[in-house]
């Protein structure tokens, strides 16, 4: 009996927008997707960052994107469409972590994290959704966190609040685009071995953290899944916990 043809989506010709791609998880994702053959539009605060020099300019657009500046989202999307003429996936990776608890710290920290971690992906999804719907196989991946699935008292309450909000945003986007083929995943890694977590008290030891490349490989897999295989949430924990 002949083997059934795979219904996985091929990377060829597909265009992906990825925020926060100059280092850490974002850079690892970008390198993996570039190797797969996607056209990439990388939104970064510093387009001249050293880590971006390796990308082939004929397949990769590097554009300034500042998550705290609403107008930069539209400018980035416009530049992507002008360059590639289509959009197939949006990966909201840009994020920040600042310490804050209920007894100490400045509330401005919460405002800063809310702007970057929640409002920026919300804004990009709203702008990108019509273009993702147009192809019938649009994809949105929001890089959330295991801290969006529970609360630990060693974690910044502001960070946990924003990542819980990203989970809600992901499900809202799933419902908004479902009928036109858009599938949305909230990807929730535990501690990833990047600068973001290096100085946090009580963080998972470096040897036990996820490699950024592991997250990149997971994103590549999610982008290939067909419309009939929706993964609403994917938790990648680095520690043993009772329910995640």
Copy the structure tokens of residue 146. Answer: 């295991």
Determine how many CB atoms are found less than 10 A away from the CB of residue 240.
5
Q: Is 159 a catalytic residue?
A: yes
Give, for 201, the enclosing helix (H) or strand (E).
Answer: none
Given 38, 122, 151, 159, the catalytic residue = 159
Cβ distance 173 to 197 under 8 Å? Answer: no
- Residues ≥6 apart with Cβ < 8 Å to 44: 19, 20, 21, 22, 26, 52, 62, 63, 64, 65
In DSSP terms, 39 is beta-bridged to 15
Pairing type for strands 89-92 and 139-143 reads parallel
Q: How many residues does the chain have?
A: 244
Active centre residues (catalytic): 159
């Amino acid at each position: 009996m002949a083997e059934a043809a795979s219904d996985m989506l091929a990377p060829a010709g597909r265009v992906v927008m990825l925020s926060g791609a100059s280092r850490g998880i974002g850079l690892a994702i970008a390198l993996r997707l570039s190797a797969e053959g996607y056209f990439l539009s990388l939104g970064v605060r510093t387009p001249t960052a050293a880590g971006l020099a390796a990308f082939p300019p004929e397949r990769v657009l590097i554009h300034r994107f500042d998550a705290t500046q609403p107008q930069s989202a539209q400018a980035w999307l416009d530049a992507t469409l002008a360059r590639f003429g289509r959009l197939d996936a949006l990966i909201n990776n840009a994020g920040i972590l600042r310490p804050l608890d209920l007894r100490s710290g400045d509330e401005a920290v919460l405002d800063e994290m809310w702007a970057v971690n929640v409002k920026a992906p919300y804004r990009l999804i709203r702008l990108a959704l019509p273009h993702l719907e147009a192809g019938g196989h649009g994809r949105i991946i929001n890089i959330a966190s295991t801290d969006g699935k529970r609360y630990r008292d060693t974690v910044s309450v502001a960070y946990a609040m924003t990542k819980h909000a990203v989970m809600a945003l992901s499900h809202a986007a799933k419902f908004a685009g479902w009928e036109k083929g858009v599938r949305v995943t909230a990807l929730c890694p535990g501690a990833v071995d990047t600068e973001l977590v290096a100085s946090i008290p009580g963080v998972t030891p470096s040897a036990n953290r996820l490699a950024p490349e592991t997250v990149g490989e997971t994103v590549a897999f999610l982008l290939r899944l067909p419309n009939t295989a929706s993964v609403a949430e994917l938790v990648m924990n680095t520690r043993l916990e009772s329910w995640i």
